[in-house]
Structure 1
């Protein structure tokens, strides 16, 4: 890297330019049906509806109409609404909306609330429109502009909500969150690096490096999504920001700490770069490999949301890993000692009394330390048992947006389920179904728990299928609606379906119910596979069959403690009815993968100390003393980048940011710094069976009693002296 540094730097810049100019845009979807395989009931209902009822009515937008003074709507006001609907309809012949505005029911009566203060109108989706794509959101913006122009000074307030408008507000909220997260992440990284290194150029190094990496990774992810038809959800870009900057800064820290240590020993810049890459490179590569494997395990998920985000994050980490092993050394070699400007304190070896004391405590009483640190995580882990998964995406919308306020008004004045009737499809292909049977089926549906009203049946053109619409007692996107559809409503539909027919319950609550089933399956598949492959990496890396077991057990305990603490913060203290259903997957992946990183750093330092002839207790003491500051600095920066997600004002992202931030702090400061070294100390020589990599030896790098190098109390990143 030192010899070809200019070529390496130029190559990365050129690659970034090519990717930016040729790669497609990274797009996301909010259509939850796109996340499920075809064998789920909600998707089968959707397919039957598209096949047999191509002209089926599906609400795309709901207009909530009130007087600006809050009084009851007069006959003149209702006539004004009729005129408004006639003028608006011709403007709605778009890819998303049909040119129609319905403000009356089937009997011609206005959709008026009991007190007469609120009227609602429905705008249907156009044929073939999902209402969740980019064009739909553009049409939603145009709809609001048309409404503003047409209402003018009429004295009426018209607010738009429904699937399209809620998706639009969610997207705009995500875009605002992305800006806030990006700014907060950069400010945090610059601030922490300034405190650690007091160098202008080092503060800029991760910003510039990750900026280049981000352009390449985003383009590569977009290509992969197009090539494999992957559907990423709207949160992927926000997570990418923190992953790229958080993980990228960690890897840069591992390299810079070792580089600064070597320079303090009197080496020339080029020699220090080569030495640091040799020592830190394997640690960075193994840590990155564990992260990539954990993310790639998501391709086994039955939900396309995870099958898309898994490879996306794996690609991002892979590109970051390559940059850490090539671009960063090339830039450091080019800048030389000017890298640390204007600070001169880097030339002196600082003393860290705190980590010396912590190291002594671990070495002196490893049993107590293991019991206390493990006990704390166990107590927190118990609260994970009360985790309640929620599929209510709309609750994550920030307060004050138009679609949220309009929907609250709608639900306060009309049946909550009227916003989105749930379709029930009866496939009667080859069956002779009578009107009496269809009536009995309708009556059964009306008696199901959670159903307010049933409309239909509507026969298909060929008479081989029938469609009903359920008005639920609860908001269709609520957890209560999902539970009712998954349980009594589907049970009733299946049992009451006329002989020879098959009934399917679809709609948004049906999709959420099926996603819940898919998640339960994924927990049983993705978690064990990711853990197994990471254990294999650890076994190969450490030449041990014992260490991977207790390391992964420690990481698993860290995962459960993280979920438990999040439950305490949001469900027990915050009063939230539940947490977003995908949270355990994200915690597992980030805490498992990144927690394994820190464990690798600590366990390798423990082995290095043991190789120098120290007994297990003394090795644990020295490992915490010398590796602790590195893990602490990396953990604080990475936790801080995840914590920046909490600034977005979106409940989903806030809970995710909190969980990932506290998870990193737990694995860095409780698990890696105390639990792992104390447990390793207690196991002693057995921890390295059968390879016994802790045995003292001499090698070309001067390891072992005969060739131990001078120590740097705060910079030696654990894990850099791995088996060669």
Structure 2
């Protein structure tokens, strides 16, 4: 199949390129606009309590909302606010109200905090109805400009925090981060490919091609998202850039390394490209299938965030694979050996014997290499037992220098940490109206809960059947401590203390985080094993073996544990963070398992190829390391580097993700695929391919290309 595909593409390169150009223009032109959301409530199913509370609030209090923004005032010298300062705050609030900022509905000054270090002005805004609705963000921008004009010349300094301001700062941080990631990724790929091939043509080839197909990927994602009504998380777009450039470049590398090898074996350029597609097509397709399956397993998640992420990344990998097998061969077949210009190194086998020497050593002592590489994985994996999940998604996705973060910290000097986003408890009567005695006793019960700072007076719906209590926690709403309060004493008390004939639900951001955790725990039990089983099936079909998939997946699981352990070691032990973002394990699992399997597949496919050419298991391992090692090393450096660029985005969420995934890919390439897999395969011997015949020599098997046998030069390729 891949031989026929290669011949077709090389015979009709202009037609292939034309079809791609038409498809890119058509998809990009017809696709709807792709939008993203940062509202985690968009991703939870309706049976969770936080979503039930939100739906009840919309029915019973359609015109009620917590302040969208909080203007925080403090003295510039850090001292307590005087009566004159409080009067100035009231005057500023009045002036801001009189400016009639668009979509600002109320501007209400509150009394100074009890210690008089902070005073807050609550700002109500028009409700937003969709991720595309920018009215609150626009209002925050206008308010910030007007606020600085008002406090100029006073002893006060002020800034805006709260949900609307945090949303704006997160959006700006995300956009800045995406730009940094894109630039860093492109520069890294250019530099590394220049170093590897010494050719600006090859260095630019992945950039130009992947940039061209990226609009197609975005268009396909927008079409599918609209068709299935999926919400796209803002972090997915950052991952999409990295995956598309990283994986796409990897597949191009796999092809170009084999193309250069066939040219050195004496084949003409067109025949060499057909041979390359024929020989690496199955490995690349199987590797991509493993990645697509792993990402596709996310569609089993209860969280819309992961369903949309899996869909987006699966589409990106599928398009990158198709381009790697058709568009790239078509372009290279037109360029021929000019693709290596100005370097002439492609004409000669490198004189350096580093990979040859290491491969020979591995072939002689596979047990030593298996123990050493396995020991590294186990040693790092021990630290994984110290993993502590944290649910602080909000502050982690915003720069610490943002205004909402700075003044959120100022607010803590005089107000409970939960003031930025209070929780809501809704008490509803099963029949009739709520009684005054019920309301008072219930408020007293809520106020006595450990971790609750204050409970507002109940607000009744028009029919007096539902009461809303604003509950301010003593800890920041996104913190681990607030989550513990929510899922422990607060929800328990809210439910148990509800008077007879009433029911209670708890809502708000902290409640959403707690439900997010419950959904994630369910996904761990479902998505992990499903992805593992499906990837093992792909490996079994590729290798025609029932043995190899087991130890290959075992090595990948060791790699996952080592990666998680490395992240725990760096962030929790060395950096002193309280924990890692709780979504990290499932994202890391999928990337390390899927992309790590890529390198295992490339190495084990070469192992099988060498065994089929008559080499014993030890010699096959040595030759596989010699020939596939440089490809795996180059691909691993590029892919790990592209994910590492996420650490430059300026927020903790992307930093943790970038570090963990890049380290995981480095472990997968430089420990698992290059050493552990060939060493274990050499130790197991021909039994690794049972019950198939992957290890049996096939000296008479030929691969027919453009009128020429590739096998005639096979021995020369290995000299």
TM-score (norm 2): 0.94
Q: Which of 696, 699, 702 does residue 700 from structure 1 map onto?
A: 702
Post-superposition shift, 1:57? 3.2
1:718 corresponds to which residue? none
**In 1: Cα distance, 2:450 partner to 2:308 partner:** 36
2:383 corresponds to which residue? 383
**In 1: Cα distance, 2:216 partner to 2:617 partner:** 45
Alignment of 1:554-593 (within 5 A): 554-593=555-594
Post-superposition shift, 1:645? 0.9
Alignment of 1:69-84 (within 5 A): 69-84=77-92
Per-residue CA deviation, residues 271-292 of structure 1 (Å, 9 max, x unaligned), is: 2222211112222111111111
- Tell me, yes or no, if structure 1 residue 625 matches structure 2 residue 630: no
2:265 corresponds to which residue? 265
Post-superposition shift, 1:437? 3.1
- Tell me, yes or no, if structure 1 residue 196 matches structure 2 residue 196: yes
2:447 corresponds to which residue? 446
Distance of aligned partners of 1:435 and 1:395 in 2 relative to their CA distance in 1, 3 Å threshold: same
Q: Contact conserved, 1:64 with 1:159, CA < 8 A, in 2? A: yes
- Tell me, yes or no, if structure 1 residue 239 matches structure 2 residue 244: no
**In 2: Cα distance, 1:224 partner to 1:142 partner:** 36
The 3-state SS of whatever aligns with 1:665 is helix
Post-superposition shift, 1:416? 1.3
Q: Which moved more, 1:50-59 or 1:242-251?
A: 50-59
Q: Contact conserved, 2:390 with 2:581, CA < 8 A, in 1? A: yes
**In 2: Cα distance, 1:42 partner to 1:90 partner:** 36
- Tell me, yes or no, if structure 1 residue 102 matches structure 2 residue 108: yes
Alignment of 1:197-212 (within 5 A): 197-212=197-212
Q: Contact conserved, 2:430 with 2:503, CA < 8 A, in 1? A: no
Per-residue CA deviation, residues 69-112 of structure 1 (Å, 9 max, x unaligned), is: 545444443333323223322555645x4x211112xxxxx2x1
The 3-state SS of whatever aligns with 2:714 is coil
Post-superposition shift, 1:330? 0.9
Per-residue CA deviation, residues 192-241 of structure 1 (Å, 9 max, x unaligned), is: 11111111100100110110111110111122222212112221121111
**In 1: Cα distance, 2:292 partner to 2:704 partner:** 32
Distance of aligned partners of 1:128 and 1:460 in 2 relative to their CA distance in 1, 3 Å threshold: farther
Q: Which moved more, 1:510-519 or 1:357-366?
A: 357-366
Post-superposition shift, 1:340? 0.8
Distance of aligned partners of 1:708 and 1:535 in 2 relative to their CA distance in 1, 3 Å threshold: farther
Q: Contact conserved, 1:94 with 1:126, CA < 8 A, in 2? A: no
Q: Contact conserved, 1:293 with 1:534, CA < 8 A, in 2? A: yes
Post-superposition shift, 1:550? 1.1
**In 2: Cα distance, 1:92 partner to 1:355 partner:** 71
1:370 corresponds to which residue? 370
Alignment of 1:301-380 (within 5 A): 301-380=301-380
Q: Contact conserved, 1:625 with 1:713, CA < 8 A, in 2? A: no
2:715 corresponds to which residue? 710
Post-superposition shift, 1:19? 3.2
2:25 corresponds to which residue? 17
The 3-state SS of whatever aligns with 1:39 is coil
Alignment of 1:112-261 (within 5 A): 112-127=112-127, 133-261=133-261
2:5 corresponds to which residue? none
Q: Contact conserved, 1:246 with 1:638, CA < 8 A, in 2? A: yes
**In 1: Cα distance, 2:131 partner to 2:122 partner:** 14
**In 1: Cα distance, 2:108 partner to 2:232 partner:** 34
1:509 corresponds to which residue? 510
**In 1: Cα distance, 2:128 partner to 2:428 partner:** 21
**In 1: Cα distance, 2:199 partner to 2:414 partner:** 60
**In 2: Cα distance, 1:74 partner to 1:713 partner:** 84
**In 2: Cα distance, 1:73 partner to 1:352 partner:** 73
Q: Contact conserved, 1:190 with 1:204, CA < 8 A, in 2? A: yes
**In 2: Cα distance, 1:710 partner to 1:90 partner:** 85
Post-superposition shift, 1:14? 3.2
Post-superposition shift, 1:708? 7.3
1:644 corresponds to which residue? 645
**In 2: Cα distance, 1:622 partner to 1:227 partner:** 49
- Tell me, yes or no, if structure 1 residue 33 matches structure 2 residue 41: yes
Per-residue CA deviation, residues 627-683 of structure 1 (Å, 9 max, x unaligned), is: 111111111111111111111121111111111111011011111111111111222
Post-superposition shift, 1:617? 1.8
Q: Contact conserved, 1:626 with 1:712, CA < 8 A, in 2? A: no
**In 2: Cα distance, 1:682 partner to 1:265 partner:** 30
**In 2: Cα distance, 1:70 partner to 1:587 partner:** 43
**In 1: Cα distance, 2:371 partner to 2:319 partner:** 39
Post-superposition shift, 1:153? 3.9
Distance of aligned partners of 1:130 and 1:577 in 2 relative to their CA distance in 1, 3 Å threshold: farther
2:4 corresponds to which residue? none
Distance of aligned partners of 1:236 and 1:461 in 2 relative to their CA distance in 1, 3 Å threshold: same
Q: Which moved more, 1:62-71 or 1:582-591?
A: 62-71
Distance of aligned partners of 1:705 and 1:204 in 2 relative to their CA distance in 1, 3 Å threshold: closer
The 3-state SS of whatever aligns with 1:37 is coil
Distance of aligned partners of 1:506 and 1:234 in 2 relative to their CA distance in 1, 3 Å threshold: same
**In 1: Cα distance, 2:529 partner to 2:135 partner:** 40
Q: Which of 2, 5, 26 does residue 10 from structure 2 map onto?
A: 2
**In 2: Cα distance, 1:4 partner to 1:476 partner:** 60
1:539 corresponds to which residue? 540
Distance of aligned partners of 1:464 and 1:543 in 2 relative to their CA distance in 1, 3 Å threshold: same
The 3-state SS of whatever aligns with 1:412 is coil
The 3-state SS of whatever aligns with 2:25 is helix
2:677 corresponds to which residue? 676
Post-superposition shift, 1:129? 5.3
Q: Which moved more, 1:509-518 or 1:115-124?
A: 115-124
Uncovered stretches (5+) of structure 1, i.e. residues with no partner: 105-109, 715-724
The 3-state SS of whatever aligns with 1:499 is coil
**In 2: Cα distance, 1:277 partner to 1:9 partner:** 17
**In 2: Cα distance, 1:212 partner to 1:135 partner:** 33
2:611 corresponds to which residue? 610
Post-superposition shift, 1:548? 1.0
Alignment of 1:57-72 (within 5 A): 57-72=65-80
Distance of aligned partners of 1:54 and 1:711 in 2 relative to their CA distance in 1, 3 Å threshold: farther
**In 2: Cα distance, 1:711 partner to 1:526 partner:** 46
Uncovered stretches (5+) of structure 2, i.e. residues with no partner: 1-8
Q: Which moved more, 1:281-290 or 1:123-132?
A: 123-132
Distance of aligned partners of 1:319 and 1:580 in 2 relative to their CA distance in 1, 3 Å threshold: same
Per-residue CA deviation, residues 290-333 of structure 1 (Å, 9 max, x unaligned), is: 11111111111111110111100111111111111111011101
**In 1: Cα distance, 2:534 partner to 2:135 partner:** 41
Distance of aligned partners of 1:92 and 1:551 in 2 relative to their CA distance in 1, 3 Å threshold: farther
Q: Which of 87, 92, 95 does residue 87 from structure 1 map onto?
A: 95
Distance of aligned partners of 1:150 and 1:294 in 2 relative to their CA distance in 1, 3 Å threshold: same
Distance of aligned partners of 1:479 and 1:174 in 2 relative to their CA distance in 1, 3 Å threshold: same
Post-superposition shift, 1:517? 0.5
Per-residue CA deviation, residues 364-390 of structure 1 (Å, 9 max, x unaligned), is: 222222122112111211211211111
Post-superposition shift, 1:459? 2.1
